[in-house]
Structure 1
């Protein structure tokens, strides 16, 4: 049995910490400074991690390979299976012309003001997509729609990534919170309530923050009422549902309430300076099918995209078709989850050569390696929505070939994203089983009384590596609780801080970004995005760290018991 070494460098925890974060630094430098493609940065990080795990943490080569392969398997199913199905649905809507209908519905039913459309599409609709699918698909779909509405590509991606924070902890119908409860032994309802007393603060001011980033003070000054409606409606709903109902529905219900409130509000109130921020009304192709950019007329006219109907305001029937795919996938995924369909035919596979072969020194127990394969997981539910949507649009006049064309589009868009994700998640699993992750976490936990601030960055690091709040909670959730009890802090607060902190690194995570850029011209140029989002990620994580400090020391009564 391989026993993890927590201080392999000169028996010094701090020096071991510095060596342990080298793969993370390699990825960040290659992405943000050297501007290499995400898959190249992830590959370099994995190679660095593999060498360090073997040479410094003394992990046997076979075990290191097994850990990496376990991560790759998880990256393919369920992660990229969910992403693949969601992007297939998106491409069916593009090929059938229903995505263009969706764009036209936005243009003609709400003020054609980019700031308002940003809040509706990037914030409210993006949160709905996060609540259902996650793993970067909200960024890919929402940025494509924003670009089709006339947003510059880099702006659209940056802003949707900034928005892809507050919904994440309750994404996929509460799976991150349920996972956190499983590894910590704390009640999911209590953890969800605590996260629901942190993230709604960000939900309230994030619309203001994003508009400020997009237009500056001048643009925010004339549209702040809409930002207030979007943020307040989301924050209140997220708080109420997470505290009084449970962790499964805060995202879905908060996003729907926010979406409805904003759309209704802008029917009776409009900013006076719409012309300065007017969105594109003309039809713009909104897919990447051959590697070129959104906004270029590269799709052949001969049946590649079925007609979306005449230009102008969509009819009632067209409006129904515009919203149908997204409402359909929402209903199917929610019903699928609550009926526990994913557990049917579920296989628990003890990973050969890895299961209980590694000894977790920090927790003094063997490290399990059980791969959960769900043939009827969330990705399959989304695939069902793809099939139903295709049937509906074909009955409405679209050509059946769009189903296959959309599949080909999805492969062209996601081939590099798949490569990036398997490499970065493989690195995350190598971090876990080698002991590097626990060295990094243990070192951060030694900061003493200010640990509540740094607990946020533990979650940040884990989510940066894995691209998943769920994986972050599985990795460091229990460490947060152990450190909290040693320092006489609240275990509930520290565990929640891990989940809330993780969401702040989604905007710089290679897994999230590489999926997000898949529908744009920036495939292979993910470093441009990291350069734009990194500062926002650190700012938001720092603010959260201060909030956690305040909750621990100044208002401990806010912590649920």
Structure 2
């Protein structure tokens, strides 16, 4: 039996926090400064995490290694299981030519590629986030942007920055559902407060995306469309989270935003000036090719099937039947107590082999095969090829989750969290940083909420801050760590053929991640004071 200690180094929480942060410092330094490929950087950082857990925290080596195996298992299922099956469906549409039809369909909405990028990365990406999450929108929208002619680096950066505002309600609000379960706070209240934070982010993200593509000139020329896109998404997200349905928030917001933007483009269009520096090739005549209605419908069919499968899976009798076969067990060889002497819940592993999002995508992919007219053998060949395509991202994601679990089970993460919670009344200012840190390490807002949710509530009560505000801030701050998470960097790089160039992507997205984080910290702090407390329910 291993019991966590918060201050193993010299009995000091501060010194212990410095050592506990070493794996993260090494990981991001290797990525951002030394330009080491993500899979190598993650393996080196994993070795550092193991050394700290055994050498400083006194965790038995056997248990530390079992933590590695648990993290790697979680990295593959459910996270990689989702990404692999999502990319497989995409790969089948490429083989059949349906992806080109889909591309032309998006292009006909607007001849301006900046607007196309916003609709794909923000609106369509939000819909994918709502249905699956866990890297799926990044994996698919990066490739779609690449096919529109954007350079690989630009496509990856735009997709990652776009995958922010919808994340808190991703995978049918899985992060908030998890937050409610670990804190004991009502789901409706957590969803409502989050719905008064992330919509402000949604307003500006489409504007930022155009700025990344075409600078201030592009921002000025497309401002009506980007404000309508972000504004309607924000309004729909706020209304749904507060008055309609927390799990359906992103689905409603994505559809409303896309619909409003398309309606605007029926009578207004921006000046057609494109930043060719960000394009791999100039626009061609292919985008103007007219496709028959049936051909377009078949191109959209895989995504309509995905939506239908996920909606059906949420019907209570079906959901209960699928959940009934889920296998849950404590990971063998891990007997860990938290600092208070309670068994650590993180060593529980749920193998939702039927109801998991990745399995639902696999079912949707199987249903898509006859619709696309691709043969079973060809579909199987593409499935095997997808694993080969993602081999290094698979290593990266499993390694990063192994780091997270070693840090979680040894107590390194708890040390960092408690050290930050010691800020007292200023905790509201840095509360989102905890969520940001959790997502940066795990790549998942759901994991970050399970990691720091209870800690946020405890710290908020000590500091005299509304615990619902602090808990919601964990998820809202966490969405801003998504774009710098090594697992998402690896997914984006692998999808556009930039494996090994994760450091280049990291340097491009880091300023946006930090800038948004500062704004979110200020918002949450002001919401904890009379200045903006009126924003809370």
Task: Report the equivalent of 2:394.
Answer: 418
Shift of 1:16: 0.8
Q: CA separation in 1, counterparts of 2:285 and 2:146?
A: 12
Task: Report the equivalent of 2:413.
Answer: 437
Task: Report the equivalent of 1:349.
Answer: 329
Task: Report the equivalent of 2:445.
Answer: 469
Q: CA separation in 2, counterparts of 1:513 and 1:130?
A: 16
Task: Report the equivalent of 1:23.
Answer: 23
Task: Report the equivalent of 2:290.
Answer: 313
Q: CA separation in 1, counterparts of 2:307 and 2:9?
A: 50
Q: Which runs of 5+ in 2 are unaligned?
A: none
Which of 365, 373, 380 lines up with 2:351 in the alignment? 373
Shift of 1:214: 2.1
Q: Could you say what secondary structure the match of 1:223 adopts?
A: helix
Shift of 1:184: 0.3
Q: CA separation in 2, counterparts of 1:7 and 1:246?
A: 42
Q: Deviations over 1:68-96 (max 9, x none)?
A: 21111111111111111111111111111
Q: Could you say what secondary structure the match of 2:343 adopts?
A: strand
Is this contact kept in 1: 2:213–2:275, CA < 8 A?
no
Q: CA separation in 1, counterparts of 2:89 and 2:263?
A: 27
Task: Report the equivalent of 1:235.
Answer: 234
Task: Report the equivalent of 2:284.
Answer: 281
Task: Report the equivalent of 1:78.
Answer: 78
Q: Could you say what secondary structure the match of 2:111 adopts?
A: coil
User: In the alignment, does 2:389 pair up with 1:386?
Assistant: no
Q: CA separation in 2, counterparts of 1:184 and 1:342?
A: 26
Q: Deviations over 1:274-332 (max 9, x none)?
A: 46679633559xxxxxxxxxxxxxxxxxxxxxxxxxx8121111111121111211121
Is this contact kept in 2: 1:3–1:360, CA < 8 A?
yes
Task: Report the equivalent of 1:180.
Answer: 179
Task: Report the equivalent of 1:293.
Answer: none
Q: CA separation in 2, counterparts of 1:552 and 1:73?
A: 39
Q: CA separation in 1, counterparts of 2:493 and 2:389?
A: 9
Q: CA separation in 2, counterparts of 1:72 and 1:370?
A: 14
Shift of 1:113: 0.8
Q: CA separation in 2, counterparts of 1:352 and 1:471?
A: 21
User: In the alignment, does 2:75 pair up with 1:98?
Assistant: no
Task: Report the equivalent of 1:49.
Answer: 49
Q: After superposition, where does 1:147-226 map in structure 2 within 5 Å?
A: 147-226=146-225
Is this contact kept in 2: 1:83–1:133, CA < 8 A?
no
Going from structure 1 to structure 2, the CA distance change for 1:338 and 1:514 (only over 3 Å counts) comes to farther
Q: Deviations over 1:470-518 (max 9, x none)?
A: 0000000000000000010010000000001111011010111111222
Q: Could you say what secondary structure the match of 2:40 adopts?
A: helix
Q: CA separation in 2, counterparts of 1:412 and 1:267?
A: 43
Going from structure 1 to structure 2, the CA distance change for 1:364 and 1:218 (only over 3 Å counts) comes to same
Q: Could you say what secondary structure the match of 1:100 adopts?
A: helix
Q: Could you say what secondary structure the match of 1:477 adopts?
A: helix
Shift of 1:468: 0.4
Shift of 1:336: 1.0
With structure 2 as the length reference, what TM-score do the two structures score?
0.95
Is this contact kept in 1: 2:456–2:470, CA < 8 A?
yes
Task: Report the equivalent of 1:556.
Answer: 533
Q: Deviations over 1:223-266 (max 9, x none)?
A: 10000111011111111111112320111111111112212221
Q: Deviations over 1:375-414 (max 9, x none)?
A: 21221111111111111111xxx45443123213311221
Going from structure 1 to structure 2, the CA distance change for 1:527 and 1:338 (only over 3 Å counts) comes to farther
Going from structure 1 to structure 2, the CA distance change for 1:282 and 1:45 (only over 3 Å counts) comes to farther
Q: CA separation in 2, counterparts of 1:72 and 1:252?
A: 30
User: In the alignment, does 2:516 pair up with 1:540?
Assistant: yes
Q: CA separation in 2, counterparts of 1:102 and 1:280?
A: 16
Q: CA separation in 2, counterparts of 1:80 and 1:160?
A: 18
User: In the alignment, does 2:115 pair up with 1:116?
Assistant: yes
Going from structure 1 to structure 2, the CA distance change for 1:82 and 1:252 (only over 3 Å counts) comes to same
With structure 1 as the length reference, what TM-score do the two structures score?
0.91
Task: Report the equivalent of 2:497.
Answer: 521
Task: Report the equivalent of 1:263.
Answer: 262
Shift of 1:427: 0.9
Shift of 1:557: 3.4
RMSD of aligned residue pairs (Cα, Å): 1.6
Q: Which runs of 5+ in 1 are unaligned?
A: 285-310
Q: Could you say what secondary structure the match of 2:528 adopts?
A: helix
Q: CA separation in 2, counterparts of 1:251 and 1:449?
A: 33
Is this contact kept in 2: 1:138–1:516, CA < 8 A?
no
Q: CA separation in 2, counterparts of 1:491 and 1:143?
A: 37
Shift of 1:137: 2.0
Q: Deviations over 1:139-192 (max 9, x none)?
A: 121111111111111111111100100011100001110000000000111101
Is this contact kept in 2: 1:105–1:322, CA < 8 A?
no
Q: Could you say what secondary structure the match of 2:328 adopts?
A: strand
Is this contact kept in 2: 1:148–1:280, CA < 8 A?
no
Q: CA separation in 2, counterparts of 1:342 and 1:190?
A: 28
Q: After superposition, where does 1:330-345 map in structure 2 within 5 Å?
A: 330-339=307-316, 340=319, 342-345=322-325
Q: After superposition, where does 1:500-515 map in structure 2 within 5 Å?
A: 500-515=476-491
Q: CA separation in 1, counterparts of 2:255 and 2:322?
A: 25
Is this contact kept in 1: 2:123–2:257, CA < 8 A?
yes
Name which of structure 1's ranges 71-80 and 476-485 shifts more when overlaid on structure 2. Answer: 71-80
Q: CA separation in 2, counterparts of 1:120 and 1:87?
A: 20
Q: Deviations over 1:308-367 (max 9, x none)?
A: xxx81211111111211112111211221344154130111121221xx22211x44221
Q: Could you say what secondary structure the match of 2:8 adopts?
A: coil
